[in-house]
Structure 1
Amino acid sequence: MNRRRHDRNPLGQGAARHRASRRAPHSPHRAPAPVEPAAENPLIRVLRPALRSEDPTAFWVAAAPLIMEMADPQHHLEELPEGVDLLDTFLEIDVAETTALLHMVAAMSPDEGLRSRAQAGLTTRRQPMPPQVSGLVQASVTEALAFSDGAGENLMVELLLPRGVRAVLITYIEWSPVPYMKDAFAIGEPMDEVTRTYREIMARDGDSLDEMLETVTLADAGARFRQALTSTPRDVEQAGFGEQWPMLRSFVEFAVGLLPDGGEGYEDDLVSGFSAGDPIPEHPPWILEDGTDLVEEFLASAPAADLELGKDAQDLAAFLMVVLDATFGDPLGWDPELAEWMLSDVLPTTPILSEEQIAQIPLALPALIAWSLERTGEEPSVIAQTLSAVAPLLEQFPARRADPRMRARRLEEQVDFALEHEDPTALRMADLALRAGGFDALAELETTPLPAEELALPQIPADLRDLAAEVDAHLVDGVTALLSEQPAVADVDELLTACRRLLVRITQLDPAVLRRKASTRNTAAAVVSLIARGNALMGYSPAPLHEKDLRRAFELRSSPSQRARTLKEAAALPHRFDGIALADPGLLLGTARTELLRVRDVLRAE
């Protein structure tokens, strides 16, 4: 069985991501809104290099988010004149890029009205198109393959278009708590080339793709895709999971629409991988058929002599045995690779072990490994080799667990844990904890407003201080302008403090993101966007501020959303299905903390 989740995008394809907007359907009695010259239109500047790319998937990736935006009448209603929607802006600009987009809309928009309008618009267009654009209506799926990592599967389909153009849609479908689509991307290569690349990558890890590869009927692939898409929310934040997902959803749904009906989806009891939130099984794996309790036997053994015995040691040993048994079918089956996976991926991110249990890992884990291998009859040399491989990982473990990105994953796992138990109240409480920075932080929240603070320049790398000071100057001007018309929304000084703290955090965790060429004004607006959304000041109703207010305050012509996504990752903020989670009381305004406490108390009462 494959013990690692392999790189799901073996060719490292990036994705052009862009958010757009629309309003109500165009009125035939209203004059169209003025449009920018094509060369200056920011959306066309995004589409142009994608259309000219030799990669047949480049334009799909660039255009798919726009297809989603056009079909959602709730997105950014205020950003276009009344009676004009996003499709109108492309119908009114007759250039190759908009013609290509009309082909995409006509082929894959979920809105029948938009498809009809795009098809009508194409009757007057004459620009020649590459086959991956004009040939979408003739696309077909030739084959489907899948391989699993124990917790989910990579499900891949090859698309064939006119003139021999082939591409592969690769998705990763997580099986727990229900099958849902966690990642998706397109690669402009035939299936043979994609599987060859995967085969080489897995061989370097000592695994064989051919032993895992499954040929899936097209009908069964369609059933699996539809089952996963049904369980995947449409309103997942576009900064979601991967480079192309969930922005690529419209293209995924188009490809799935090419597959026949009538297949079989995933079994209800398919989930075999272990998740940190899994309950202890009814017949725990440490109890053998003859009644032997492996946990008790281990704690009474010589390797465990130095452990601080008690419930913490007992629960930690039981947890480790559950992980091994649920994932690989053997509660004692340790080896160097498995120990590395446990210390690198599982233990730094699990939220269900107490700090007391975590503190026992440096002694308990090597003791458990030595005892397990000795009990299963391994040679002393194998035991010594395994323990030798574990030693440096144990030294690195405290720092790895403390890493902000590991902390973010633990917070995300808390939400997954609640989701698996299908308890709406617990899920809402876990989301509150995600926003606050954990259950301990949520329990200790207080509502005093953040103090007025200047930018902490000494905490910023020396080579970035001038740039950070420039960003800070834009913060002052932009936040002041943003709140000038709605001063009751927040205090200027308090909002500036939160923004400055986030800026310092970014420079400390990922200074390279600020060394890249980018507008300091745009960076400042992106920081404000993250803080405002994380404090429920900006976004969808009832949030009092909208993106148009931010753009006006910072004098921007385009959205800072792409820069905000980059800074969000640099700040190691956890992913949240509904908005931004700042996960730090020091970034939350007093009003936001007050609201979190109010909702927390309501949920406790329930």
Structure 2
Amino acid sequence: MAEALATGEPLGLLDVASAFLSATDPRRDSPFRSDDAEPLPPREELVQAFLHVPRLEASALVAAIAGLTGDRVLRARAHREIALRGHVLPRWLTELDRARTADRAAEFGHVLGDGESLLLGVTLADGSELAVSVYVDHNLGTVVKDALVVPGALPDLIVLMQETTDDPDLGISELAPADVRARATEAIEDGARLFPPLETDTWPANRPLVEWAVGLLPAGGQGYQRPEWSSTDREALAVRVLGSPFATDLTDAHHRELLGDILWFGTDYGPGDPLRWSPVAVELLLVDWIPRKIVADARLLAKAPDVLRTLIRFAHAERGIRPELTAETLAAVDEFEPEHQEAIRSPRLQGPDALLATLGVLDPDELLAEQAQQELARVVGGAAALEELDAEPLPDEPFAWERVPDDVHGRVAEVVELVDRCCDAMLDVEHRTATRRLVAAAAEGDPEVFRRRGRSDTLAAAACWLVVRSNQQAGGGGLTTKELMAHFGLTGSPSQRGTALLKAIGAAAYDPAGPQLGSPRYLTSERRRQLIAARDASSDPRD
């Protein structure tokens, strides 16, 4: 305070008072903090202590605190104490309540809309001027990420910002002072609720000073208007994207499903604009949001970068974005795709668990280990089966005809013959035994699967596909669906007939990680070795 008073400049002293108010701000407290440090005494108690210190610096600090908080009772008492002490303080300090804002305000932003700086000016009672720049970040939820208060007039700050940037996509535009107040207030309040809080060299230390300055602006302005998107609106936009010349490579249902998810991200997160894509938005989507929020097979999520490229080209064409910016945004997809591909194939917390781990409520290592054990148990049919799992090779086992009803013997025989040919040509004895077991269990569990009219080769292909997929690690190599179907002379997906077989044996008809047969009876020795290794590795989260 002594140094700040010695300069004769208002900003130094106001910065100190603002830092004190920020440090004692109840908004900085959180029930999730694990900080063992001794908490500060309440703000009122500290201010009372300063009032009992008969020094010029204490008088100046209390006067600044009273002025920034707008506490009339505190201001009256402070002025009374200061008068009794005979301390002479600058006019701008004793008359902070007479400060006024400039008649104009502005915003400084980028065409891609990651955020903007809200600009305003303040004139103190002695004619001194301050300029304020409040940066609002839309990618993090339209919250204040940083703010600067500098000496000088607002027009000088605007000229400086214009002269120090050569980016043609950055621009300053006039904004009604009341709108600046509404937007800044809203973004400050929303940012104060974030945990962990956003912190820079100046924020939130100067938050009380910024709030005081913003509070001098006229009220009644319009805050940020978030668009409302219904599911029908999103679907209509998806149809437009898929019908555009940019979407010629989005040919399957997975692409359409992922497009819906990405549009959901665009409408429900950030500023609510599904056609706003920047390199930062790309990073948030690929590296954080999709791996954390979308529960699906890695092979499906792996297609997200291609879908995003299509959406970026469509959106930038709609908005008339410069080709150079489109190229930069597409380059960000290339940059973050490897990290995305690694993340979707790695153990990770999702949904509420991810949030609670971030808040420090849950131990992520212990939770991931627990989830890994649950996932492995689900694959083999339960915790007991997982514990008893062995890696003995499946025997060369004959087909169990005793499990098949008499009236479907002929149809099952056709399917088994086709299955055996496929396994002999493309797989091995263990896969053949596993697939024979699957067909026998399905015939016993729901003979109607084999009574319905249909081709035997599609059933055989579906049975082989289920066993192959269940014995491959998620995203792993091996025999592809296309290669398998080609052996049977078929095209398309075997998933529909595969679903019928899964239901027949009592397994889950849908699993986001891919079809799971739910029993080690259908797993090869190699796959069971993989599961045993994963079981042992996740049994202790410290491993």
**TM-score scaled by structure 1?**
0.45
Q: In proportion to residue count, which structure has more helix?
A: 2
Larger-gyration structure (1/2): 2
